[in-house]
Amino acid sequence: MAAPDPTSLVDIHSHLVPGVDDGARDIQAVLDSIERMTRHSIRRVITTPHIVGSLSLDPDRLERRLGAVTDAWNEAAAAIGQRFPEVEYRRGHEVLLDVPNVDLSDPRIRMAGTSFVLVEWPRLQLPPGTERVLKKIIDAGYRPIVAHPERYHGMGQAIHVAGRWREAGAYLQMNYASLSGRYGPEAQTIAFRLLRRGWADYLASDFHGHMRLKLYKSEVWTILEELGAGEALSYLCRTNPGRVLGDETPLPVPPLPAERGFWARLRGLLQGTTA
């Protein structure tokens, strides 16, 4: 594998291990997805197939799951290495926190074997005690990154919860597609509110390897650059995701402009990209 280009983009959330979850179905879908990512200047990928946190408490079931993912990932890594030697392809998991006491000691669960772990809550709901669960993970020596906080039901009225996650020591990863409106106006509004507060630490594709879907990277890049957020983009898509691979904490992301006139300008930009 060639040395990664330090100026390239890094994606830390996708489902590009073939046949192990609702993501890419086979090697060809993985290769097609990686090719699409390279067209968007993404050269470093941590792919994160789903895993249920409660499996971590059952060693036999956990090993069966991790072993199956490892076999499929190795096959994909070999194919990517042949066709895209410039791409760094690593693996972690997106851990569903269905129990409050997950065991993250197996490095295969974590992101590229670092102390970072990508986590999500069940059914896009906000259960009680989320801050306490994240604190347990942090006290165990790991660094939780909460996936797509903008998509959780009720987050619009409880955005302070995301702030408390960050105060506890967790980090936030938003999806490109949320900013584009792919998940509806509520998720889009919350995503921009998080950016205005400087609370988002990473942007990622959450791409599932289905060719009918879009990455939404170009659309979002255009919107944020027009809003004067070019520096924030570099932190969100290059610097901070790259620091995950180095097992380093993210740097503060410059917040988006204040709200005055912001939404009118944003609406105009969105209408221009969807026309």
SS (H, E, C) the chain: CCCCCCCCEEECCECCCCCCCCCCCCHHHHHHHHHHHHHCCEEEEEECCEEEHHHHHCHHHHHHHHHHHHHHHHHHHHHHHHHCCCCEEEECCEEECCCCCCCCCCCCCCHHHCCEEEEECHHHCCCCCHHHHHHHHHHCCCEEEEECHHHCCCCCCCHHHHHHHHHHCCEEEEEHHHHHCCCCHHHHHHHHHHHHHCCCCEEECCECCCCCCCCCHHHHHHHHHHCCCHHHHHHHHHHHHHHHHCCCCCCCCCCCCCCCCHHHHHHHHHHHHHC
What is the mean predicted confidence (pLDDT) over 181-191? 95
- Mean confidence (pLDDT) of the chain: 93
In terms of pLDDT, which residue wins out, 7 or 47?
47
Residue 212 pLDDT: 76
In terms of pLDDT, which residue wins out, 253 or 211?
253
pLDDT(268) > 70 = no
pLDDT(269) > 80 = no
Residue 7 pLDDT: 73
What is the mean predicted confidence (pLDDT) over 229-245? 96
What is the mean predicted confidence (pLDDT) over 217-246? 93
pLDDT(5) > 80 = no
What is the mean predicted confidence (pLDDT) over 264-269? 60
In terms of pLDDT, which residue wins out, 264 or 82?
82
Domain segments of the chain as ranges: 9-274
Q: Please give the class, per CATH, of domain 9-274.
A: alpha beta
pLDDT(176) > 70 = yes
pTM of the predicted model, to two decimals? 0.93
pLDDT(167) > 80 = yes
